[in-house]
Every structure is written in C-alpha cells, then in structure tokens.
Copies of this chain bind each other. A is one copy, B any other.
Amino acid sequence: MKDVAAHAGVSQSTVSFVLNGMVGMRIAAETRQKVLNAVAELGYRSRGAGRPPNALSKRVIGFMLDEISTSPFAAISIDGAQEEARKHDALLEIVMTGGDPDYEAAALRKWAADGVNGVIYGSILTRKVAPPDMLTRHRAVLLNCYDGTDRYASVVPAERRGGEAATKALLAQGHRKIAFISGEPWMDASRQRKEGFKRAMQKAGLEIDLALVREGNFLPSGGRSATLDLMKSGTRPDAIFCANDLMAVGCYEALKELGERPGETIAVMGYDDQEIAQHLSPALSTVLLPHREMGQWASLVLLDETSRPPVQARMECPVVLRASHG
C-alpha cells in the first residue's frame, strides 16, 4: 500500500480511506481516481493484514462440498444454505474439493485465517465420512453425511421413512403387487429406500415377491430394462416403485413402448423429485428429498450462536402425489 501511496502522490492513510470508502471521510474525486489508477497499475492486492476494522464484519460461513455436477441435489443444498445465510446477512463461501484432503486442508486453513463463523462439510452422496483434522478448528456441521461420533452436528434424509411413505401411498390406492426397482446396493440411499419399501409391505401384511424386485442403476436405462424385464415375467405388477426419478423416466419409456398407460393401466412411483418429474406425462408421483431444508438447517445451526450440543438429525422426505400412482 505504501507503493500505491507513493505512486499516487498521497499518504498511506489516504489510500486506505479511498479503498475502504470510510463513512465521514471526504476525499476529492480527483484524488480518489489517482489512487484507484495506481492500485490498478501496480496490481495492488491486500495482504489481509494490518489493523482490523472497527466495524463488525459480515458473518461468513464456509461450505465445503466434494462434488456438484453429478447430481442436482448439491446445488439445491447450496440454495438452502444460501437463503438462510442471506436472511441473516451472512456470506456463504463455497469450495468444491473433489474429496482431496490437501485441498480441504488448504481451504480450512484459509477459513481459519479469515475467521469464518463456521463450516458446513457436505457430501453429494449420503454416506459416512472421515472429516479432516483441520475441521476441529471450526464450528462445523455435516450435511448429507455423518461420521458416527457426536463431535459435529449432522443431517441426512430419512430415506427409510421416505421409502415407507411412498409404498404406503401405493397401497392406499389398492395396489398389492408392487414391484421395486432399486439403485446400486452399495449406496446408503438405495439400501434404505428398499428397506422402507419392505417395512411398509410387511406392515401391510404382504409378502415381498422376489419376482417383483429388480436391481437398477439409478439411470433411465436401468429403469427401462428392469421394467421391460418385469413386464415379461410371469407375475404382472399393478404398480412399479422406482428408487429414483431417472429410473422412472426409463420405466415410462418402456411402458409406453409396450402400449401401457402409466398412471392408468399401471401405477408408477418415483423417488427424489427431480425437476423433470413434474414435467413427465403423466406427472410423476414421487418422494421429495429435503436437500433445500437440510442446507437451511445447516446454516441455521452455525448462525445460532448459543451453545448447544451437536444434534444428529434425520429429515423427513414427504411424498409428492401427482398423476402416476393411481
């Protein structure tokens, strides 16, 4: 900053006043422009040092996420966290780490030096994580993940209860031969949705017919081929519960190729309420994942500065009844 001052022919104090637009400090427009020109010409960048401002700076929450582009839900979580941050006049700074521990540590170090108010540590897939050591330097919340300790607060969707509710909605329509197309079995979400399906069927006193259970891949192709397989098996289902909406897209395709009318000749239930669900024909009945609400929750926990013990939360996944489950 001293070099900027020399270059502009003013004092270091004046440079500081220009750059920070301090209330009550009058600076001539010409002087101001001279300083800004010098800043640009010299490529001045603050070292983030010096005397801290008197004014309380805006609160800042760091949000660390492993991935963002492979599913729409991370973006929705970000929206939720951002909404609450904005309501509380806080900044949300997001870093995508790709799960790289060195990158995570670097970001956490920067945030410690910046004095952020807390960190949301998020995962795109619902899973158990091993949080980085540096996270202990921050108040932190685990979002869509958990570490199996009570060290940090955490929030995940209540997938079993979601699967149960979706199956109940089909049962309530009188369906009894309900087929289930699962996702990949190594994923928390896939396993738990299936467990919810089973629980609802058992509570209704119905046996699970293994001929009506298929393993899919969470993609339209998996839903389509599983549906084609189901429809040519010996037992015709009266409803198909797909463990995610993308597979329901493929299920719709297969049914239409076979001359069926989803929602009329056979019911379809999806899961995760992707944007496309409401735009399918007929509009898909599904289960809403609470990613927005979980993001909001995470922000609120960090913005609430009273001292509370960490909570491990499971958030409800409400059923969204449209036109395909009848």
A interface with B by C-beta (< 8 Å):
19, 36, 39-40, 43, 45-52, 57-58, 60, 68-69, 72, 74-76, 78-79, 82, 86, 91-96, 98, 100, 103, 106-107, 110, 112-117, 136-137, 139, 219-221, 224, 246, 249-250, 252-253, 256-257, 276, 279-281
Task: Check A276 against B276 for contact (C-beta < 8 Å).
Answer: yes
A111 to B47, CA, bound (A): 11
Contacts of A252 in B (CB 8 A): 253
- Which residue of chain B has its CB nearest to the CB of A117? B45
Instruction: Say which residue of B36, B117, B256 sits within 8 Å of A256 (CB atoms).
Output: B256
Q: State whether A107 touches B94 (Cβ < 8 A).
A: no
Q: Which of these, B51, B79, B113, contacts A69 with CB under 8 Å? A: B79
Which residues does chain B contribute within 8 Å of A257, judged by CB atoms? 256, 281
* Nearest CB in chain B to that of A223: its residue: B279
Give 13 new A-B contacts, CB below 8 A, not counting A91-B103, A92-B95: A39-B137, A45-B116, A48-B48, A48-B114, A49-B50, A68-B78, A69-B75, A86-B98, A91-B110, A219-B279, A220-B280, A246-B276, A253-B256
A107 to B139: give the CA distance in the assembly, Å.
Answer: 22
Contacts of A98 in B (CB 8 A): 82, 86
A-B CB contact pairs (8 Å), 16 listed: A19-B112, A39-B137, A45-B115, A46-B112, A46-B115, A49-B52, A69-B75, A72-B72, A82-B98, A91-B103, A93-B93, A220-B279, A220-B281, A250-B279, A253-B281, A257-B281
Q: Are A94 and B91 in contact (CB under 8 A)?
A: no
With A253-B256, A256-B253, A279-B219 as contacts: A47 and B115 at CB distance below 8 Å: yes
Instruction: Provide the bound-state CA to CA distance between A314 and B95, in Å.
Output: 27
Task: Check A253/B280 contact, CB under 8 A, given A69-B72, A75-B69, A76-B69.
Answer: yes
Bound-state Cα–Cα, A19 to B134, Å: 10
A229 to B152, CA, bound (A): 56
B residues within 8 A CB of A78?
A: 68-69, 96
Measured in the bound complex, the distance between the Cα atoms of B47 and A57 in whole Å is 9
- Chain B proximity of A119: nearest CB distance (Å): 12
Which residues of chain B are near A43, meaning CB under 8 Å? Answer: 139
> When the two chains form their complex, are residues A48 and B92 in contact, meaning their CB atoms are under 8 A apart?
no
Q: A86-B100, A91-B107, A95-B92 are in contact. Are A52 and B47 (CB under 8 A)?
A: yes
State in angstroms the CA–CA spacing of A100 and B82 once bound together.
12
